[in-house]
Every structure is written in C-alpha cells, then in structure tokens.
Amino acid sequence: MITNYQLRITNFLLLMIFAISLRAQIPIYGADSLMKHYNSKMNHFIDRDSALGSFYSIDLFGISIFAGETEKKNNQIEYRVNWAELPIYKNIIATASREEAMQIMLSKGNRPFPPDVMKRYHVVPDFIKSQPTAKLPLKGLRIALDPGHIAADTAMGRIEDKYLLFKTSKGPTNVQRTANDSVMISLAEGMLTWQTANALAVLLRSEGAEVFMTRQKGNMTAFGKTYAQWKKNDYKRTLDSLLKLNPTDIHLRRLKSGRVKDENSIFRYVFRDAELRKRAEIINAFHPDLTIIIHYNVDEKNKPWNKPSSKNFCMTFVPGSFQDGELGDSERRFDFLRLLLTDDIEKSTSVSGLAGLEFQSELEVPLAKTSDATYLSEHCIPAGLPGVFCRNLSLTRLIQGTMIYGETFYQDNFDECLRLTEKPRFAAEGNQPLGGNERISEVVDAYNKAILLWAKSLQ
Ligand SMILES: [Zn+2]
C-alpha cells in the first residue's frame, strides 16, 4: 500500500528527473541522423578547408556557434540551436528581417527561445504562392533581378574596372588582320547585364511574375543615384562609418587622410561593398521566390583584357564555401549558420543546375570544371551539379532564399566580344529594332527557360 507521503515523494522525484533531463538536453528522436546530416553538409559545402572548427560544434543535441577559438575553449557560446528548436529557427529566418533575426539569436545565447519569440514565430509561414495558368506560368511568383555592376559606358566601366576596350579582327584569330576587318570592341559589363535584366524583366512580367530590379537604368546604382551623385552626397559619410568599424584598415585610412584619392580606390574600398550590401538589402526586403544575379565573365588569365581570349566557359555560383578568416564578425557567423540550417544552398543548386544546362545548350558554351579557373580551384566547392559552384561572395552570402548567380560566358572570348558588339537586328520595314543584341537575347532565353522549369517544379 502506497501512502500519500510516498506518492508525494515519488512525484517529487519524477519531477526532479524531468527537470534534470530538460537541463541535460535529452536528444530528440533522430538526433544522430540530424547530427550526421549537418556535419556532412558542413564538410561538403560550407567549411571548405576544414579551417573553421573553432566557430562551431555539432553534437547530439544541436549546434553551437562561437565567436572564435578562445570562446570555444572557454565554452562561451555565442548562441545555440537545439535540434528541437530547428522548426522555430527556420520560421524566424523565413519571416523576420535579417536584423531582427540576428538580434533574436544574439540575445538567445545558450538559452531556449523566449516565450514571446516562440509565440510569434511558431506558425509555419505560407510558402505556396505559385498560381500558374496556361498563359501566365509564373503567376504568383516574385523574382528579383540584379544586373551586375553599374556602367553603361566604358568611362564608368573603367572606374569599376569592368570593361573591354580593344581592336580585334573578325574571324577566329588575329593572324590575318587587315585594316578592313578590324573591329573596335568597347563593352562595359554593367551595360550587358543591364540589357539582359531589362529584356528578361519584360519577358518574366509577360509570363505573370512580379519582378523587382536592383538598378533602374544604365549607370544607375542600387542607391537609386549615379556613382557621381553618391560620391558627392554619401562618400564621406560612408568612409567615416567604415572607418569606425575598421579603424586600422590601411586603404580607408589613406583615403581619409587624402593621400590616396583616385577614383578606383574610392570605388573599390568604399563604394563597392556598400552598394553590394544595398543590393542584398533591397532584394531581401522584396522577399523574392527566386533571385537572378546576372554577370558576364572574363578569362582571368587574359587580364587586363586588352585582347580577345580563346577560352570560354559558363558557370553559376551558389552560397557556401567559407574559408579561413571569413567568420570574423557576428553577421558572417549568422549567415554561416543560416546556410547550414536552411535549404538555401540546396534549392539554389537545383535551379542553378537547370540554368547551367540551358546556358550550355542554348548558348553552346561548355560548363566550367574546377580546373578551368584559379578561383574555382582555390575558393569554390563543386555543388554537385555540372557547372554549379559554392562560393562565398558578398551577394551569395547576404541574399536570403533561392538564387541563380549566372556567369553565362567569357565576354572577352574572340567570338563573344564580336557577337556582343554587333548592332541590334532591324525589321525589314521601317527602321525599328526588333530587339537588343542577338547574343543577349539568347542569354535572356536561356535564363527564361530555366526559370520556367523551376516554376514547374514548384507545382
Ligand atoms: Zn561581373
């Protein structure tokens, strides 16, 4: 016979065991496979050289982030996500602003999510937006387009160091060049990406998508002003705020002292990163279902690009591939964990794989292999589909969600630079151009085909 007293003791002991097990973090069902999965993803796609072990630890209960080696040694956790907290973490990442999500994680630390956060983010966001019809296959989908760089002319192209300016001859080599067949190549990458994005936007809208562009016209920056306007209004302020964050940075100090004041340095050390951040910020605010970052590549060995190259490859980049020294601030660590725990890398790889195949077949350009460029072999990880590489670029890291970062071909390739220089086609009657440059139209078609296949896969 159990007495009332004994019952109370048993209840008390059960309660104690329950409380202790909570504190001791009993692993959830399937914890070992979660641990295996995230360890494997980390090793295959994120921690490229296995150099970042001081910033995280993955165990049976979840994953911890540390600010560095000393912190890890002293078990000073920056924050932690237990496997049981994964759903709420993913809801926060999908719905909160980046700033808010970062703040929630930093104040969470090693504790559970506070009740107000649990209440606010326990509902799974409604992701099903696609409502295709026969005429509007992209209806309901939001697509962000980012035409890379700025320049609409080679003068601005020179400032951002993204331009081609040389004479070449028609035909496959320069051997038989004569005065008659020599052609002036004058291209700025920002001009090509702008034309591509603009034509692609028209097409995607006609297929029902809601399209957002980071730049509104040639020579226009993501700040909604020209580079010259930015320099006049925002340069000093931006330089001062960067100096506050990096007081020992030698390039910034030289610019501040006036010892260095050339346009390329101002662009490179102050403008470029600030503008890339702006692009990511306005894309994230649009909450796109897909982001297309449009670039045209060059042959890295052909620098300073004053002659054509015989090489040509297409490739796409997706997030991942962090390297030593790339987790120095809490924002980078936030994205590092986000890319591990969300499906952004997987989804981007899948759609980028489609885009690569379209580039290859539509444009007849081979997909790059790791050995085809130094940056691929030294900074990237093959993402598992042909021509798709994980690469830790500002935009692959800062933009959330699914993306295609396309590098369709080498613009300095001897055939491509001639095709890109050809005038637009004209209609037989009247003099109205039928469209832009023919080669760019082919690029637009290749992106569009990949986007339509992606949209179909959502149904
Ligand atoms: Zn580019």
Q: What is the DSSP string of 10-44?
A: HHHHHHHHHHHHHHTTPPPTTHHHHHHHHHHHIII
b/e burial code for range 23-43 (CB count within 10 A of at least 16 → b): eebebeeebeebbeebeebbe
Residues of the chain with CATH 3.40.630.40: 142-458
pLDDT of residue 361: 97
User: In CATH, which superfamily holds the domain spanning 142-458?
Assistant: Zn-dependent exopeptidases (3.40.630.40)
User: 234 C-alpha to center of ligand 1: Å?
Assistant: 24
Are residues 132 and 201 in contact, defined by beta-carbon separation less than 8 angstroms? no
Residues in the chain, pLDDT under 70: 1-3, 7, 10-26, 125, 127-128, 171-180, 423-435
Number of neighbouring beta carbons within 10 Å of residue 348: 28
User: 134 C-alpha to center of ligand 1: Å?
Assistant: 35
User: 395 C-alpha to center of ligand 1: Å?
Assistant: 12
DSSP state of 323: -
User: 148 C-alpha to center of ligand 1: Å?
Assistant: 6
User: 192 C-alpha to center of ligand 1: Å?
Assistant: 10
pLDDT of residue 77: 97
User: 99 C-alpha to center of ligand 1: Å?
Assistant: 28
pLDDT of residue 170: 74
User: 295 C-alpha to center of ligand 1: Å?
Assistant: 4
DSSP state of 294: E
User: 430 C-alpha to center of ligand 1: Å?
Assistant: 36
User: 5 C-alpha to center of ligand 1: Å?
Assistant: 76
User: 143 C-alpha to center of ligand 1: Å?
Assistant: 20
User: 158 C-alpha to center of ligand 1: Å?
Assistant: 13
User: 349 C-alpha to center of ligand 1: Å?
Assistant: 20
User: 338 C-alpha to center of ligand 1: Å?
Assistant: 25
User: 70 C-alpha to center of ligand 1: Å?
Assistant: 38
User: 220 C-alpha to center of ligand 1: Å?
Assistant: 16
User: 115 C-alpha to center of ligand 1: Å?
Assistant: 45
User: 149 C-alpha to center of ligand 1: Å?
Assistant: 6
User: 419 C-alpha to center of ligand 1: Å?
Assistant: 18
User: 86 C-alpha to center of ligand 1: Å?
Assistant: 36
User: 251 C-alpha to center of ligand 1: Å?
Assistant: 23
User: 321 C-alpha to center of ligand 1: Å?
Assistant: 19
User: 365 C-alpha to center of ligand 1: Å?
Assistant: 17
Are residues 390 and 319 in contact, defined by beta-carbon separation less than 8 angstroms? yes
Identify the CA nearest to 78 among candidates 101, 111, 45: 111
pLDDT of residue 175: 45
Query: 115 preceded by cis ω (within 30°)?
Result: no
Q: How far apart are CA 401 and CA 396, in angstroms?
A: 10
User: 435 C-alpha to center of ligand 1: Å?
Assistant: 23
User: 187 C-alpha to center of ligand 1: Å?
Assistant: 13
User: 268 C-alpha to center of ligand 1: Å?
Assistant: 14
User: 232 C-alpha to center of ligand 1: Å?
Assistant: 25
User: 354 C-alpha to center of ligand 1: Å?
Assistant: 21
Q: How far apart are CA 70 and CA 76, in angstroms?
A: 8
Q: How far apart are CA 69 and CA 66, in angstroms?
A: 8
User: 269 C-alpha to center of ligand 1: Å?
Assistant: 17
DSSP codes, 50-92: S--GGGEEE-SSEEEE-SSHHHHHTT--SEEEEGGGHHHHHHH
User: 147 C-alpha to center of ligand 1: Å?
Assistant: 9
